[in-house]
Structure 1
Amino acid sequence: MFVTGLLLAAESSPHLGVPRQLLAYHGETLLGATLETAQECGFDQLIVTLGSASEQIHERVSLDGVRVVESPHADTGSSSIVPALDAVDRRSDGIVVLIGDQPGVTPAAVWSLVAEVAGPATPIGVVRYADGHGYPCWFGRELFGELRQLRHDGDLWALIEDGHYPITQVDAIGNVPLRASTWDSYRRLVSGYSPAPGTVTPGAFDDTHPVPLPTRSRPRRRTPH
């Protein structure tokens, strides 16, 4: 089975004032940490979508070995999944979708999901946490046509919930991993950890006085496929 990982990192951060992908997390950037987890999953192909912060991300996050798909209109509501589908390898049986600001998703959750949807083949797979469903989720190639109709990335959940397709649900330990959609959720996400010098932290600025973002990221360990 050939599996493509799709890490969505094109979403803007209007409630934060800076690209959430470049917030500090465990000594590096939030996207850097999430990307490292995605690489540990051992996908046959890994795609990352980037939006308006693409230039800053390229400067601060190692994207070696990753297929980058630019989606500059994601900030205005366009789905970054649609252009990403054009980059999916022809051999791929489907995609595992992850989110660029959710580092708490584990490779174990991804492996369990892939194993369950592999046989018998299921068009949709989703992880069920203690407090609800969340990423990662799986879409077989037969649903790529449906995914191309999405107007926003979040609309893929409507495709999951409308009941038109069989769904495999895979249980995972704990609650849905936190995302950094607001400063409060970011504080909870990094609670108990000290950010690296020079990175953006909660309370370090207001909407009118941003501070510099990190200028470099930690070298990333490459995972062989």
Structure 2
Amino acid sequence: MFVTGLVLAAGASVRLGEAKQLLPYRGRTLLDATLDVARSCGFDQLLVTLGGAAGPVRDRVDLRGVQVIENRDFSTGCGSSISTAVRAVDPRADGLVLLLGDQPGVRAADVRRVASTRTALAVCRYQDGLGHPFRLGREVFADLHDLHGDKAVWKLLHSGRHPVTEVPVDGPVPIDVDTRADYERLLAGEAR
């Protein structure tokens, strides 16, 4: 199976008030930590979408081995990042795995389990609910071209148009950083 990983990191961080991709985390940046997880997953192709802070991110984040996709419509939500990036997915790809650039606590082993599913859609089933990463099979790629808004992939998941596999994952949904309080919770969890 040929699998493409896509790290969504184009947001403008409006709720946080600064580029969350560049927040300090483990001696580097939040996006560096997420890209490290993505690199360890063994994807055949790895993409990252940039938008709101593209210039500073390019200057400060290690983007080696990653194909950068610029999303000029980043302010319309992550659906636009997915619809922009799907055009760059290798034609050999059987699936696309979505990771959030602000969610460094996702474990590579869980990503690989989601990536290995064979249904059209797969999502992690954590102890407290569904969460990223998602796997989108080639049979749904056509649907991805028209995504828009922030919850577009969730709407596709719950549309009933495609079979969905829920992959059981131990623990709660990993923190994704949208606010200062989220970031503080992430850092507090690391300190334990």
TM-score of Structure 1 vs Structure 2, range by shorter chain: over 0.9
Deviations 1:30-78 (A, max 9, x none): 0010000000001000000000200000000010111100002212446
Q: How far apart, in 2, do the equivalents of 1:45 and 1:109 lie?
A: 18
Q: Which has the higher helix share?
A: 2
Q: How far apart, in 2, do the equivalents of 1:27 and 1:162 lie?
A: 41
Alignment correspondent of 2:43: 43
Structure 2: gaps spanning 5 or more residues: none
Tell whether the 8 Å contact from 2:4 to 2:96 is kept in structure 1 after alignment: yes
Alignment correspondent of 2:13: 13
Tell me by how many angstroms 1:193 deviates: 5.2
Q: How far apart, in 2, do the equivalents of 1:125 and 1:192 lie?
A: 27
Q: How far apart, in 2, do the equivalents of 1:33 and 1:12 lie?
A: 19
TM-score (norm 2): 0.95
Identity of aligned residues (%): 49
- Which structure would you say has the larger Rg? 1
Q: How far apart, in 1, do the equivalents of 2:37 and 2:190 lie?
A: 18
The answer to whether structure 1 residue 143 and structure 2 residue 140 are counterparts is: yes
The structure 1 segments of at least 4 consecutive aligned residues displaced by more than 6 Å after TM superposition are none
Q: How far apart, in 1, do the equivalents of 2:15 and 2:134 lie?
A: 26
- Which structure is higher in RCO with an 8 Å CA cutoff and minimum separation 6? 1
Structure 1: gaps spanning 5 or more residues: 195-225
1:187-202 mapped onto 2 (5 Å cutoff): 187-191=184-188
Q: How far apart, in 1, do the equivalents of 2:190 and 2:145 lie?
A: 39
Q: How far apart, in 1, do the equivalents of 2:14 and 2:185 lie?
A: 19
- Count of aligned pairs between the two proteins: 190
